Amino acid sequence: MKRRKIILVVLFLTVIHTHSLFSQQPVWSETKEQKTQRMEWWRHDRFGMFIHWGIYAMPARHEWVQLYEKIPAAEYRKYFDRFNPDLYNPEEWAAKAKKAGMKYVVLTTKHHDGFCLWDSKYTDYKVTNTPYGEDLIKPFVEAFRAEGIRVGFYYSLIDWHHPHFAFDRNHPPVPTGSEEREKENAKRDMNIYRQYMKDQLRELLTQFGQIDELFMDFSYPGEGGKGHQDWDSEGLARLARELQPQIIINNRMDLGHTDWGWDFITPEQFMPQEWPTVDGERVPWETCQTFSGSWGYYRDQYTWKSTHQLIVMLIETVSKGGNLLLNVGPTARGVFDDRANERLDGIGQWMRFHDRSIYGCTQAPDEYTAPQNCLMTYNPETHRLYIHVLEWPFKSLHLPGMKDKIEYAQLLNDASEIKFHSRTQTGSHTVETSRENDVILTLPVERPNTDVPVIELFLK
Ligand code: GLC
């Protein structure tokens, strides 16, 4: 009798153990090669547009205004009640993105304030209940796809509107003192919120066709914060992969401990010094950057980057093997403001003649050293090296160690030949000689009339 009991217990434990082994297995597994393949278009395209849009465009002083100014939900409601972007025309946006050379777009479907840009079944806090009264996302995806631009979605994990999102240090207005916060949170059930996110993600990934990037934002684990367990990030990532197997997911769900819950890392508001690594290995990265500091439309912000700075930012990102997602915050009328348009036009002007040094390019192999005041990108397919000359020198550009490596050189903007030599013997006082193994490019004295001139080197 006793032995039977023991056998039963052992059997029971084995079943439990096997079950937990299975449930821990990721539903998503792929080889490194498969992952590289899946991210192929993304690595090639390099340049995308981020769009932060919602009712925070009305206060026009940062998308975090509700938290920064501790605005109670009832008061924030005034924006919801008046949101009416009557000039919204996503075709115009898509045309601007295309002209700027952007190949994909990522739109905020819901930001931290919880406001939804589509007709979600799971909330009333959505555009269809504002004076505008219509879904913004379907026309958006159609317009961008019509221009050949891939579509990605941003979805905020944080939600200041949902009644079951537990108060934490990133919540407006935060109940003061942890005791009070806990009392309030006792009435909130994160299970309900977790389910809400899954339901909404399912809507987003089933109602709008192929979605190529998913930008979940963001985790802040630890004291007074939230991490992957609070969101059930595993569940969200699994759902996304199941519904859209080709999707590329960012790294803000706190799933760094898995090899399947994230595809790329997302430094923002600074330029990494070098190609970022995780556990010593270079990883895919996409930096998202703003024109002026805030993501949502901010009328009175006067820290706008110049077109030149933005072009250099794009080049520098690619020169370190990364992607740039450059953000526009449309106004509450539904248009890009003049400052954004001016920069997008300027970038487009440059891209028209130089996109060959961006698309399909990456960091140059270590054997090539960038000349002074230059940034280098490299296309491994065509085996061409691109020298971006930030400061135009007088006549000679010295390329260290490039002797016998160059077949042909030209300016990219007009495909005009650039002559080069590696003379080391002294000629006369007007003949310049190069250091051993260096190459001297003979540049025109006049700087080409473009923001950042590029020299294309056809390598041997
Ligand atoms: C941060 C901010 C957010 C913005 C995002 C863009 O996470 O909270 O406002 O949307 O960065 O990456």
Over residues 166-190, the pLDDT tens digits come to: 999 888 877 767 788 888 999 999 9
User: Which residue has 């931290």 as its token pair?
Assistant: 112
Categorize the per-residue pLDDT at 426 as very low, low, confident or very high, splitting at 50, 70 and 90. confident
The ligand 1 atom at the shortest distance from the C-alpha of residue 266 is 12
- DSSP assignment of 61-119, as one string? B-TTHHHHTT--HHHHHHHHTT---TT--HHHHHHHHHHTT--EEEEEEE-TT--BSS-
Q: Where are the domains of the chain?
A: 35-357, 374-459
Question: Rounded to an integer, what distance in angstroms lies between the CA atom of residue 441 and that of residue 418?
Answer: 7
What pLDDT, on the 0 to 100 scale, is given for residue 433? 86
Query: Of 194, 240, 206, 233, which Cα lies nearest the Cα of 137?
Result: 206
DSSP tally for the chain: helices H, then strands E: 13, 16
Determine if ligand 1 sits within 6 Å of the CB of residue 63.
Answer: yes
The ligand 1 atom at the shortest distance from the C-alpha of residue 154 is 10
Q: How far are the Cα atoms of 307, 353, 393, 455 from residue 415, in angstroms, in the given order?
A: 24, 10, 19, 9
Determine if ligand 1 sits within 6 Å of the CB of residue 160.
Answer: no
Does the pLDDT of residue 446 top 90, yes or no?
yes
Determine if ligand 1 sits within 6 Å of the CB of residue 220.
Answer: no
Q: Indicate which residue's Cα is closest to atom 10 of ligand 1.
A: 295
Strands (E), 265-383: 277-278, 281-282, 286-289, 323-328, 374-379
User: Which residue has 């002559």 as its token pair?
Assistant: 419
Torsion of Cα atoms, 33 then 37 then 43 then 44, to 10°: 130
pLDDT in tens, 152-163: 999 999 999 999
Categorize the per-residue pLDDT at 327 as very low, low, confident or very high, splitting at 50, 70 and 90. very high
What is residue 154's DSSP assignment?
Answer: E
How much is the pTM?
0.94
Does the pLDDT of residue 5 top 70, yes or no?
no
Distance 66 CA to ligand 1 centre (A): 14
Determine if ligand 1 sits within 6 Å of the CB of residue 143.
Answer: no
What pLDDT, on the 0 to 100 scale, is given for residue 19? 46
pLDDT greater at residue 27 or residue 94: 94
Determine if ligand 1 sits within 6 Å of the CB of residue 392.
Answer: no
Q: How far are the Cα atoms of 6, 10, 200, 318 from residue 3, in angstroms, in the given order?
A: 5, 11, 52, 68
Mutational pocket test of ligand 1: of 217, 254, 266, the residue with most ligand atoms within 8 Å of the beta carbon: 217
In the chain, what is the straight-line distance between the N-terminal and C-terminal CA atoms, in Å? 83
Q: Indicate which residue's Cα is closest to atom 4 of ligand 1.
A: 295
What pLDDT, on the 0 to 100 scale, is given for residue 11? 57
Determine if ligand 1 sits within 6 Å of the CB of residue 218.
Answer: yes
Whether 328 contacts 340, CB under 8 Å: yes
Does the pLDDT of residue 1 top 60, yes or no?
no
User: What CATH topology corresponds to 374-459?
Assistant: Immunoglobulin-like (2.60.40)
- Sorted by sequence, the CB contacts under 8 Å of residue 451 that are 6+ apart come out as 307, 308, 311, 346, 349, 350
Whether 364 contacts 376, CB under 8 Å: yes
**Which DSSP helix (H) or strand (E) runs through 196?**
helix 190-206
Question: Rounded to an integer, what distance in angstroms lies between the CA atom of residue 223 and that of residue 168?
Answer: 9
Determine if ligand 1 sits within 6 Å of the CB of residue 268.
Answer: yes
Does the pLDDT of residue 23 top 60, yes or no?
no
Q: Indicate which residue's Cα is closest to atom 3 of ligand 1.
A: 295
What is residue 129's DSSP assignment?
Answer: G
Question: Rounded to an integer, what distance in angstroms lies between the CA atom of residue 154 and that of residue 215?
Answer: 4
Whether 132 contacts 84, CB under 8 Å: yes
**Which DSSP helix (H) or strand (E) runs through 312?**
helix 307-319
Query: Of 444, 384, 453, which Cα lies nearest the Cα of 418?
Result: 444
Q: Which two structure tokens, joined as six digits, stand for 33? A: 């090669």
Determine if ligand 1 sits within 6 Å of the CB of residue 359.
Answer: no
pLDDT in tens, 265-284: 999 999 999 999 999 999 99
Determine if ligand 1 sits within 6 Å of the CB of residue 28.
Answer: no
Determine if ligand 1 sits within 6 Å of the CB of residue 420.
Answer: no
Q: Which two structure tokens, joined as six digits, stand for 90? A: 């996503």
Question: Rounded to an integer, what distance in angstroms lies between the CA atom of residue 287 and that of residue 362?
Answer: 14
User: What CATH topology corresponds to 35-357?
Assistant: TIM Barrel (3.20.20)
Q: Which two structure tokens, joined as six digits, stand for 105? A: 């777009």
**Span 70-95, average pLDDT:** 97
Does the pLDDT of residue 10 top 70, yes or no?
no
What pLDDT, on the 0 to 100 scale, is given for residue 140? 99
Put residue 360 in one of left, alpha, beta given phi > 0 → left and psi -120 to 50 → alpha: left
What pLDDT, on the 0 to 100 scale, is given for residue 415? 98
Distance 363 CA to ligand 1 centre (A): 27
Mutational pocket test of ligand 1: of 106, 268, 297, the residue with most ligand atoms within 8 Å of the beta carbon: 268
Does the pLDDT of residue 259 top 80, yes or no?
yes
Determine if ligand 1 sits within 6 Å of the CB of residue 286.
Answer: no
**Span 376-400, average pLDDT:** 98
Question: Rounded to an integer, what distance in angstroms lies between the CA atom of residue 358 and that of residue 318?
Answer: 7
Check the CA dihedral 238-239-244-247 and report its sign.
negative
What pLDDT, on the 0 to 100 scale, is given for residue 55? 98
**Span 286-297, average pLDDT:** 98
The ligand 1 atom at the shortest distance from the C-alpha of residue 158 is 8
**Which DSSP helix (H) or strand (E) runs through 349?**
helix 338-354
Determine if ligand 1 sits within 6 Å of the CB of residue 180.
Answer: no
